[in-house]
């Protein structure tokens, strides 16, 4: 059995076109995941509005196999810091109203982590200054709630580590999701008490550095995720990703680490439960 430690299940991303119009495909997506032995899910509610957070929490409240993490993606830090509307044109909260809503939802008992939050300097959809300011606020929120952090870090590992150190770290730990660093970055994050989560990117031919990092992460600190609907692993690359495809990433990582799939399943499942404080299954 597997746990998808980071998946997005937004309705707009899972519309299936039929002769009579678009149909919400998420029930079928979850059913396929369970058939593939992906039995638990950490659903991420982190975009540029409160809608993603509410969606993730709604899954966690009605399904005991699902848990929520709530935040604002670094791409959308401007929604809080500068009250700039993200890509979505739908009415939504902005500024301190948005922050207050996310902070309130983060305190819910079915929310097991704060985030995703972090720094992404690859696209800079929000300015570095906005991203840094919001990351600091989320670090403090996680501290106050004593919940782990889900970090999204791209092209900014050193600065993110510095911010964590300046803010007093994350006493409840956390995870660097969709890890895109190399062995040095992995070693430093592990030293800071964070787990490392591998997405489908690790299966890509261009991911040699990530693959080297994946080999050194000790048992008990390694998680697996899809980050669906993004980043489908080989051999599904190019398709809309979904939790059932976690098994392809798992097959690759097991071969990479010289472990059986049963061994990998056992220790990544245990690590996910420990990282997020999930009840043992």
- The reported pLDDT for the residue numbered 88 is 62
Minimum mean pLDDT range among 122-131, 190-199, 250-259:
122-131
Q: Return the percentage of the chain with pLDDT > 70, whole number.
A: 98
Task: Determine the distance from the C-alpha atom of residue 222 to the mean position of all C-alpha atoms in its chain, rounded to a whole number.
Answer: 13
Element holding 102 (H helix, E strand): helix 95-106
In this predicted structure, the answer to whether residue 226 has a pLDDT above a threshold of 60 is yes
For 2-276, give the CATH class. Answer: alpha beta
Dist. CA 72–CA 79, nearest whole Å: 9
- The reported pLDDT for the residue numbered 273 is 98
For residues 107 and 145, is the Cβ–Cβ distance under 8 A? yes
In this predicted structure, the answer to whether residue 137 has a pLDDT above a threshold of 90 is yes
More confident residue, 72 or 123: 72
pLDDT band at 89 (very low <50, low <70, confident <90, very high): low
Secondary structure (3-state) at 198: strand
Beta bridge partners of 4: 41
Residue 227 tokens read as: 């980050």
Find all residues with CB under 8 Å of 252, minimum gap 6, and list them: 202, 203, 233, 234
pTM of structure:
0.95
21: left (phi over 0), alpha (psi -120 to 50) or beta: left
Nearest to 240 by CA among 22, 23, 26: 26
The alpha carbon dihedral of 26, 225, 118, 127 has a sign of negative
Dist. CA 128–CA 264, nearest whole Å: 37
Question: Would you kindly state where each structural domain of the chain is located, as residue ranges?
Answer: 2-276
For residues 178 and 241, is the Cβ–Cβ distance under 8 A? no
Per residue in 140-161, pLDDT (tens digit) is 999 999 999 999 999 999 999 9
Dist. CA 20–CA 275, nearest whole Å: 43
Per residue in 163-208, pLDDT (tens digit) is 999 999 999 999 999 999 999 999 999 999 999 999 999 999 999 9
In this predicted structure, the answer to whether residue 90 has a pLDDT above a threshold of 70 is no
Task: Determine the distance from the C-alpha atom of residue 158 to the mean position of all C-alpha atoms in its chain, rounded to a whole number.
Answer: 20
Q: How far is CA 195 from CA 50, 54, 57, 176, in A?
A: 27, 26, 23, 6
Beta bridge partners of 194: 174
Residue located via tokens 């692993």? 233
Query: For 49, which DSSP code?
Result: S
**Average of pLDDT values for 211-229?**
98
Dist. CA 165–CA 124, nearest whole Å: 23
Dist. CA 114–CA 141, nearest whole Å: 8
Q: How far is CA 267 from CA 24, 118, 135, 181, 201, in A?
A: 34, 26, 30, 22, 20
Dist. CA 205–CA 44, nearest whole Å: 27
């Amino acid at each position: 059995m597997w746990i998808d430690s980071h998946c997005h299940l937004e309705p707009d991303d899972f519309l299936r076109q039929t002769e009579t119009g678009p149909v919400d495909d998420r029930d079928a997506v979850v059913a396929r995941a369970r058939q593939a032995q992906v039995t638990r899910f950490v659903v991420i509610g982190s975009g540029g509005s409160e809608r993603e957070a509410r969606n993730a929490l709604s899954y966690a409240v009605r399904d005991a196999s699902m848990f929520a993490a709530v935040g604002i993606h670094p791409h959308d830090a401007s929604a809080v810091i500068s009250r700039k509307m993200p890509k979505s044109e739908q009415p939504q909260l902005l500024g301190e109203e948005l922050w207050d809503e996310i902070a309130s939802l983060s305190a819910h008992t079915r929310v097991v982590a704060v985030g995703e939050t972090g720094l992404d300097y690859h696209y800079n959809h929000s300015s570095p200054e906005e991203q840094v300011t919001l990351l600091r606020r989320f670090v403090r929120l996680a501290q106050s709630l004593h919940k782990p952090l889900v970090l999204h870090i791209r092209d900014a590992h050193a600065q993110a580590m510095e911010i964590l150190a300046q803010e007093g770290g994350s006493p409840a730990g956390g995870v660097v999701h969709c890890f895109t660093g190399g062995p040095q970055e992995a070693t430093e994050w592990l030293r800071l008490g964070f787990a490392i989560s591998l997405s489908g990117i690790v299966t890509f031919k261009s991911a040699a550095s990530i693959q080297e990092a994946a080999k050194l992460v000790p048992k008990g600190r390694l998680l697996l995720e899809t980050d669906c609907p993004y980043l489908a692993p080989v051999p599904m690359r190019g398709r809309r990703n979904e939790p059932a495809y976690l098994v392809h990433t798992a097959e690759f990582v097991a071969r990479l680490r010289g472990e059986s799939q049963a061994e990998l399943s056992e220790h990544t499942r245990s690590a996910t439960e420990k990282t997020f404080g999930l009840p043992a299954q």
